[in-house]
Structure 1
Amino acid sequence: MVAATVTELDTRRDEKQSARPGGSTVRASIDAFLDTPKVKGNPNTLRAYAGVLDRTAELIGAGRRLAGVEDGEVADALDELWGEAKPATWNRNRAAVGSWLAWCAGKQHWAAPALPATAERRREGNDDTKAVSRSRIDRLCRRRDVPLREKTLWRMLYESASRASAVLALNVEDLDLPNKQAKITAKGGDTMWITWGTDTAHLLPRLIAGRESGPLFLSEHRPGPHRKATTYPEDICRETGRARLGYDRARILLGHYGDGLRLHQLRHSSATHLGDANTSANVIMAKTGHKSLRSVQRYVKPGLAAVHQATEKLSSPRRRG
């Protein structure tokens, strides 16, 4: 019996791999990855990963065999999609693609491309101006040219000190309006309560406008056929036909109206202002959902107003005031 050639062995290996569920195409492998408990167990994670991987698949070819995709093609797709994005956005989306490919190769033992060295993680510089003043947030949310949806979202992000992804994932039925609270799925899959104040409470009924279910924050228009076909049914409001507002769109709108303000700055500002008001670290941990004092200290540090106030204590008594 003649020994099989290298080419024949490669062919058999590819046929065996193609026969395995999820190993045949880029699309099938992504679907299998998104169906893992770690991903689908948290709706925020699932939504974020699906958005990144769907866009990546469109560029490299959803119907192609995963084994046939080169490392450089993955790098090219990342560069085309997010090459001009800020380091934090690049790193977040790069990590999602890397997690998918590592799972394919490490857990399923499928032949898959890897993230090349050219698609390295980018350095995120520390920004000591991340917290903004309460007056700036108030002025922004009182502007007449800002739509109700944006005002409500920004107020809720600030007053709840919650992550934008968790707030955008809220449904109307999740809200406990009388008690100004709602249950969210936090980072890591834990369930926790978020609370908001009077300003948000005044805006929410106007935003909901009598709806009893569906996404709390809706996009401006109904999705077209292509987007509707690729959107999870629970992310479309049955009453209006409009889809859930996405993170990227919310980010762009805040940057437009807020002169470059970022969504995470609202959460950071909230925690900083609580710290300036001498709120205990344990209470801030409970509000923000952080699991360690070290994490809280990273966000909760005196704001510029507190630094100015402390500086005045160094002046001569007769010159104060």
Structure 2
Amino acid sequence: MVALGIDGLVTNFLDHLQVERGMSPHTLSAYRRDLTRYGEFLADRGIVEADRVTPADITAYAVTLGERLAPASVARATVAIRSLHRFGIEEGLTAGDPAVDIKPARQGKRLPKALSLDQVQALLAAPDPTMPEGVRDAALLELLYGTGARISEVLDLDVDDVLSLVGADADPAAGLRLIGKGDKERIVPLGSYARAAIDAWLVRGREHFAIRGSTPALFVNARGGRLSRQSAWARITAYAETAVPGVELSPHTLRHSYATHLLDGGADVRVVQELLGHASVTTTQIYTMVTVDHLRETYLTAHPRAY
């Protein structure tokens, strides 16, 4: 039997993925890229025959990738290599499978992105208070950051949900009722900034849009209908481009910032769990990792033996 080269094994494997498994062009391209890099690495080590590859070679390649690629990319490449060698043994093209005991590296939990306090202040100040859209957007931003609510939870609110919380007769101790995932209800405190922004929207802004429709929604669009999640996020993204340029935002950015800043300020993680509406404290604990830099700074400042 003529020894099969790595390049030949890769070609056979990619043909199998395309013809027999009907893999999409995009996924096939990713496999080809990962396996081409793998073949080049082995060639640099003087290995051109598939049966000469050892587990140590594959581990060395993963280590090399880890020095320049993200953990997710390394894990993907490792999966491609495992699939390649498993194909070789199943098709009788190779004598053994050197990747059988190689496991993709565990990816660490992805830390949520949070804005700094200065960045939040800049974002909250971005809407134009002289325009109805600006008054609405200011209320939306204040409510998102002031309650840590999901954007869908805020956009589902009706005017009746907030009437008792704003204005001269408002009870400052009253909380806002939110309906989260699985129709789970929670009550969250509403700060003075959010109350004032909502009041301004109801008094000076909403009437410019609501007269064109009859929706009970708290936040409405220019046609008088309920503001959609897509439209709301497009507005927030536009403000971010000028207020915090270069910062990547997601629909959860203000929620993440709310949780992180509470923990930085000394809030108990279980209190933050309740405020966010997490079913498990494990979900909330990921935010404690975000505050490590803050804890280190406090230690260096306060401990006599820190330096």
TM-score by length of 1: 0.49
Match of 1:217 among 216, 219, 234: 219
Using the TM superposition, give the Cα deviation of residue 295 of structure 1 relative to its aligned residue in structure 2, in angstroms: 1.1
Q: Secondary structure at the residue paired with 2:196? A: helix
Measured against aligned partners, the alpha-carbon deviations of 1:167-188 in whole angstroms (never above 9, x if no partner) come to 1100010123124522221111
Cross-structure match for 2:226: 244
1:256 lines up with 2:245 in the alignment: no
1:291 lines up with 2:269 in the alignment: no
Aligned length: 178
Q: Secondary structure at the residue paired with 2:233? A: helix
Give structure 2 stretches of 5+ with no counterpart: 1-21, 25-106, 242-247
What amino acid is aligned across from residue 137 of structure 1 in structure 2?
A: V
The correspondence of residues 46-57 of structure 1 with structure 2, limited to 5 A, is none
Match of 2:187 among 176, 183, 193: 193
Alpha-carbon spacing, 1:257–1:126, altered in 2? closer, same or farther (3 Å)? farther
Contact kept? 1:271, 1:300, Cα under 8 Å = no
Contact kept? 1:131, 1:303, Cα under 8 Å = no
Give structure 1 stretches of 5+ with no counterpart: 1-71, 76-123, 223-241
Instruction: Work out which structure has the larger RCO, using CA pairs closer than 8 Å and 6 or more positions apart in sequence.
Output: 2
Using the TM superposition, give the Cα deviation of residue 252 of structure 1 relative to its aligned residue in structure 2, in angstroms: 1.2
Q: Secondary structure at the residue paired with 1:263? A: coil
Measure, in 2, the Cα distance between the counterparts of 1:139 and 1:261.
Answer: 14
Cross-structure match for 2:143: 156
Alpha-carbon spacing, 1:314–1:196, altered in 2? closer, same or farther (3 Å)? closer
Alpha-carbon spacing, 1:129–1:164, altered in 2? closer, same or farther (3 Å)? closer
Percent of aligned pairs sharing the same letter: 26
Using the TM superposition, give the Cα deviation of residue 318 of structure 1 relative to its aligned residue in structure 2, in angstroms: 10
Measured against aligned partners, the alpha-carbon deviations of 1:120-158 in whole angstroms (never above 9, x if no partner) come to xxxx99654601112211122123547121111111111
Measure, in 1, the Cα distance between the counterparts of 2:268 and 2:111.
Answer: 22
Contact kept? 1:275, 1:302, Cα under 8 Å = no
Contact kept? 1:217, 1:245, Cα under 8 Å = yes
Cross-structure match for 2:200: 206
TM-score by length of 2: 0.51
Match of 1:184 among 178, 181, 186: 178
Structure of higher CA gyration radius:
2
Q: CA RMSD in A?
A: 3.1
